[in-house]
């Protein structure tokens, strides 16, 4: 089940959904994930395992965390081999002085943006989808 690869179609066809809650990034050693956590993402690196968790879960588990952020899901099925989609979006957000941590899922791309900049990020994404934002 392949997704869209055409950059113009991806940008014109995307909609952005703001996911409720604040998320944070946590890193754990290889000892395992404490019970009761439901990470939105988990990635193993040489230094440890990165989790993106709801802030409430990280705090309840007493885990040190960083980057309070909001999650935006781009509702278009982008192909994993699509070229330039995340680069164009990251560039548009960078022009607004905003960092982004993108995560590619099988069906959709997800953006983790600073929680205090989420309204700015949503405005940029809406402009991009409308064709008003130059890629």
- For residues 125 and 117, what is the distance between their CA atoms, to the nearest angstrom? 13
pLDDT band at 135 (very low <50, low <70, confident <90, very high): very low
Mean pLDDT across the stretch 58-76? 95
Closest-CA residue to 49 (of 22, 63, 68, 31):
31
- pLDDT tens per residue across span 74-114: 988 988 888 888 999 999 999 999 999 999 988 889 999 99
Judge if pTM exceeds 0.85.
yes
Q: Domain 7-130 maps to which CATH number in 3.30.2130.10, 3.90.1150.10, 3.40.50.1010, 1.20.1740.10?
A: 3.30.2130.10
């Amino acid at each position: 089940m392949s997704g869209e690869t055409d950059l113009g179609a991806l940008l014109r066809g995307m909609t952005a959904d703001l996911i409720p809650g604040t998320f944070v990034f946590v890193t754990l050693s290889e000892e395992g994930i404490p019970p009761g956590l439901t990470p939105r993402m988990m990635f193993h690196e040489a230094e440890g395992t990165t989790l993106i968790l709801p802030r409430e879960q990280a705090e309840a588990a007493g885990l040190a965390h960083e980057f309070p952020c909001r999650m935006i899901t781009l509702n278009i099925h982008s192909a994993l081999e699509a070229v330039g989609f995340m680069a164009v979006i990251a560039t548009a957000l960078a022009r607004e002085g905003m960092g982004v941590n993108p995560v590619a899922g099988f069906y959709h791309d997800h953006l983790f943006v600073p929680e205090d900049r989420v309204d700015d990020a949503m405005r940029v994404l809406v402009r991009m989808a409308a064709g008003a934002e130059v890629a």
